Amino acid sequence: MEINMPLLGDKFPEFEVQTTHGKIRLPDNFSGKWFVLFSHPADFTPVCTTEFVAFQKRYNKFKELNCELIGLSVDQVFSHIKWTEWIKENLDTEIEFPIIADTGGVAETLGLIHPGKGMNTVRAVFIVDPKATIRTILYYPQELGRNMDEILRIIKGFQVSDKNNVAIPANWPDNEIIGDEVIIPPATDERTAKERMEKYDCFDWWLCHRKL
């Protein structure tokens, strides 16, 4: 089976999807907002259940970043509704974001089914910006749950990077070298390289950093 998928920097493909909140057009329904589309292998499975609770517990933090969430699996909408009811009744958590009931078209277009890991959708994450450009794609196998705090960190990092024209270091905002500071893009000519050394804190002309 050939896996087709959009790449980083591509526009998110257009779909009309059935969800637990009714029909939604992607990416149009999230125009002007960031959104995270994440797929899960199946409803009523243990790791997926922990993930949905974790996403919901952080939903307000995503919304503070002007970011919406939307889940997806190749399950019928009736299954999604019953599963979210179970989560509310048994785990005291109401899932407030929509879940796509995919017939396979979205999964195929986005490359969410990897035959080497079975025929269920893998744990994919697409982070899409307000201009509908795909900024991050993450894949996890069925047996490994995602870290939602890392997904939040990615969105925060992009927003800081876009606003300030800077790069984000490893483990930001707790980087081992420069803490919560950000990286100045490397110079591309000798004059700028010299100016960078005079203007910013630098380990060398190609590694300069500053506070926000």
> Hey, where are the domains in the chain?
15-146, 165-210
User: Of 48, 67, 202, 208, which residue is the catalytic one?
Assistant: 48
Task: Tell me what pLDDT residue 1 has.
Answer: 47
For the domain with range 15-146, which CATH number is right: 3.90.25.10, 3.40.30.10, 3.40.50.300, 3.40.50.960? 3.40.30.10
What are the tens digits of pLDDT across the range 89-101? 999 999 999 999 9
Q: Is the peptide bond before 130 cis (omega within 30 degrees of 0)?
A: no
Would you call 80 exposed, middle or buried from its count of C-beta atoms within 10 A (0-12, 13-18, 19+)? buried
Neighbours of 162 (CB within 10 A): 12
For residue 147 the two structure tokens come to 């870290």
What pLDDT is stored for residue 74 in this prediction? 82
Q: CA 27, CA 33: separation in Å to the nearest integer?
A: 10
What phi and psi, each to the nearest 5 degrees, are found at residue 153?
-60, -40
Q: Which fold has domain 165-210?
A: Antioxidant, Horf6; Chain A, domain 2 (3.30.1020)
Question: pLDDT below 70 — which residues of the chain?
Answer: 1-4, 113-120
Do the domains at 15-146 and 165-210 have one common CATH topology? no
Q: Considering the chain, what percentage of its residues have pLDDT values greater than 90? A: 80
pLDDT of residue 142: 82
Provide the pLDDT for residue 200: 94
Query: Catalytic site residue 202?
Result: no
